[in-house]
């Protein structure tokens, strides 16, 4: 029996709100599973090696960004129609030291997951308390 293959989805958030630019680029790979599960890949910040070479280094905020990306993917899985379950891996998280705000990575990861599983979602870029929120949160509708 062959295992289902992973399908990759990515989402690049580039949004201006109240003269602040929001940026995050997240890649998520997903495959069908019996229950929903999300994990972080082994090197979600490996892109820094391509950009900065030997001068690349980990940032103090990396673990927070990984948690935010996993949370975004989990929330996106929770919003899928019943009967579908996926195992997802956050494979890449790209941010900007200046233009990435709390919530941006979560938002991008959620949309990347929806793209990976082929689930069409409204790309409503609402901002609340300085962070971008999912369409269901912006409308005050319960997810699920």
> Residue ranges of the domains in the chain?
7-121
Q: Give which of 102, 93, 109, 117 is closest to 42, Cα–Cα.
A: 93
Task: Please say whether the beta carbons of 6 and 89 come within 8 A.
Answer: yes
50 φ/ψ angles, rounded to the nearest 5 degrees: -70, -40
- pLDDT (tens digit, 9 = 90+) per residue, 11-64? 998 877 778 788 899 999 999 999 999 999 988 998 888 888 888 888 888 899
- pLDDT (tens digit, 9 = 90+) per residue, 99-118? 888 888 998 999 999 999 98
For 7-121, CATH gives 3.30.230.10
Around Cβ 55, how many Cβ atoms within 10 Å?
A: 8
Residue 130 scores a pLDDT above 70: no
List, in sequence order, the alpha helices (H) in 79-133: 104-117
- What pLDDT shows up at residue 81? 79
Report residue 21 as tokens: 């630019």
| Confidence class for position 137, pLDDT limits 50, 70, 90 | low
Around Cβ 122, how many Cβ atoms within 10 Å?
A: 10
Select, from the ranges 7-11, 44-48, 136-140, the one with the highest average predicted confidence (pLDDT).
7-11
């Amino acid at each position: 029996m062959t295992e289902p293959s992973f399908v990759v989805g990515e989402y690049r958030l580039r949004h201006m709100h109240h003269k602040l630019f929001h940026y995050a680029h997240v890649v998520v790979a997903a495959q069908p599973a019996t229950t929903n599960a999300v994990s972080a890949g082994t090197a979600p910040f490996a892109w820094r090696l391509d950009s900065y070479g030997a001068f690349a280094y980990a940032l103090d905020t990396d673990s927070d960004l990984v948690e935010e990306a996993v949370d975004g993917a989990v929330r996106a899985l929770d919003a899928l129609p019943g009967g579908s379950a996926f195992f997802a891996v956050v494979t890449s998280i790209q941010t900007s030291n200046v233009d990435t705000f709390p919530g941006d990575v979560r938002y991008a990861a959620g949309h990347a997951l929806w793209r990976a599983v082929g689930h069409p979602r409204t790309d409503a870029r609402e901002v609340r308390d300085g962070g971008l929120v999912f369409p269901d949160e912006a409308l005050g509708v319960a997810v699920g």
